[in-house]
Amino acid sequence: MFHFCDIQISPDTKVADLVLENPYLALMLEHFGIAFPLKEKTVVKLCTENGINVDLFISLASLFSGTSKEFTNNLVFEDIPVILQYLKNDHQYFTDEKYPQILALIREMKSSSNQEEIVLVEKFFNEYFAEVVEHLKYENEIVFPYVTRLYKALHEKNAAYADNGYSVEEYREHHDNIEEKLSDLKNLLIKYLPAKDDQSSRRRLLTHLFELESDLTIHSKIEDHVLVPLVAQMEKHVKGKSQ
Amino acid sequence: MLKEKANKPLIIAIAEPSEILREGLRSMLIKSQLRYEAFYFNELEEIAEYHLRKKFSLAIISPLLIINRVRLFSDIKERCPGVTWIAIQSIYFDSQISGLFHDTILLYDNSENIVNKLKKLHEKAESALSYEPTSVLSDRETEVLQHLASGLSNKEIADILNISVNTVITHRKNITQKTGIKTVSGLTIFAISQGLIKP
């Protein structure tokens, strides 16, 4: 869920202050592998400790805070492993945490009213999630290994780079619109599905759906505006050399 | 478009400390042929608590319970929106008390009058429900949606309704714009929840 705050994040900003202002940043820290307690550590201190480019951290934190307009150009190829790990952690969060939470709440709604609509909602959500999983699987099995191979070709001497004809352009095209179903689900729950003693589970379900949506939005922004441009640059280097 | 008249039971909360009055009211209700569910309480607060789970549309209570507790009663009324409050008037109460109720049942009313009063309240509660518009869709859009939800393609819908595929697409755009729902499976759930198609 976007939480708008006006803190302009600088390297000297205390990270704890950012999280106090916007608790959703806790998720970002988790994906970066940064653990609580944060004490009085500044952005630059925390990034140095965890091997994260300060510009990358500030870009993502601004994205979470809704203050970001443009991405920094100060990212370098060396940021690739951190970005990949971040995205992988996010994948795991979807499948291991968010999905079971949402499904449990839909089932809770189903148990308080075994209406046909709720049964269909469960089916609908499962279809939606199957699409998400397919997308994640594609990234885990095709995109990320490809990016890793490129990265190694650039950084390790004598690393053989086998060009299998794949390019980041293909990945860009593969990005399909999986947000529609999520938006439908929210509309149905908020506007149309008749209530049957399910107010509390419905409210909690909505909170989770909004969180999921916001995280997915940030996830695809990172892919489109951080990963894809960096990979395109790496391709130029590697493939330009080999030709 | 109006929802089919939902024959929902009248959900009644009753708080009357006098056993004679309570049992009298109870047997009147049983004989009344009203569709109702009645819940009996000793205290007003219990009604407000139970209302969280069971939405009462009617509460019949003894005004004796609110003497010197007018503020509590106002508070409870606020916590139970949509409830019609009826006093069982066994003795004379000043207007400050009786004015807090929507209606009264007099001790000497005959059962026919009382039941008629309840029936009218029931109808009022039901019509409040049935006037809730179920959908903003036009008749044509509803038809398109029904076919869409049963799995037909744009072309098939166009053939059945004798309109062009482009017109079907326009109707679909309007349906999505009005409902905020984009996918066919989402629209199917919408159609079922509004009673436009059978599951």
Asked if residue B81 and residue B34 are part of one domain, the reply reads yes
The verdict on ipTM greater than 0.90 is no
Percent of chain A's residues with pLDDT above 70: 87
B112: how many CB neighbours lie within 10 A of its CB?
A: 10
Closest CA to B47 of B22, B39, B81: B39
* Count, residues in chain B: 199
Say if the Cβ atoms of A183 and B194 lie within 8 Å.
Answer: no
Residues B51 and B98 in one domain: yes
What average pLDDT is seen over chain A?
85
pLDDT tens-place string over residues A87-135 = 999 999 999 999 999 999 999 888 877 678 888 899 999 999 998 899 8
Distance of CA A214 to the CA centre of its chain: 9
Same-domain status, B120 and B146: no
Whole-number Å distance between alpha carbons of B62 and B48: 15
Domain count for chain B: 2
Looking at beta carbons, which pairs linking B165-171 to residues 24 or more positions away fall under 8 Å?
A: B168/B144, B171/B140, B171/B141, B171/B144
Q: In this predicted structure, what is the pLDDT of residue A242?
A: 55
Domain of B119, in residue numbers: 10-130
Q: What's the domain range around A213? A: 78-242
Cα-based distances in Å from A173 to A135, A167, A168, A177, B68: 12, 11, 9, 11, 73
CA distance linking residue A219 with residue A87, whole number of Å: 7
Q: Which of B179, B189, B193 sits opposite A124 (nearest CB)?
A: B189
The span from the CA of B86 to the CA of B62, in Å, is: 8
Q: Look up residue A48 and give its two tokens.
A: 């140095």
State the pLDDT at residue B132: 43
A169 in the same domain as A57: no
Write down which residue in A52, A74, A96 finishes a domain. Answer: A74
What letter represents residue A199's amino acid?
A: Q
Provide the shortest C-alpha distance from residue B173 to chain A (in Å).
14
- Judge if pTM exceeds 0.90: no
Q: Which residues of chain A have pLDDT under 70?
A: 1-7, 66-72, 114, 157-164, 174-177, 241-243
CB-CB under 8 Å, A192 with B192: no
Nearest chain B Cα to A197, which residue? B53
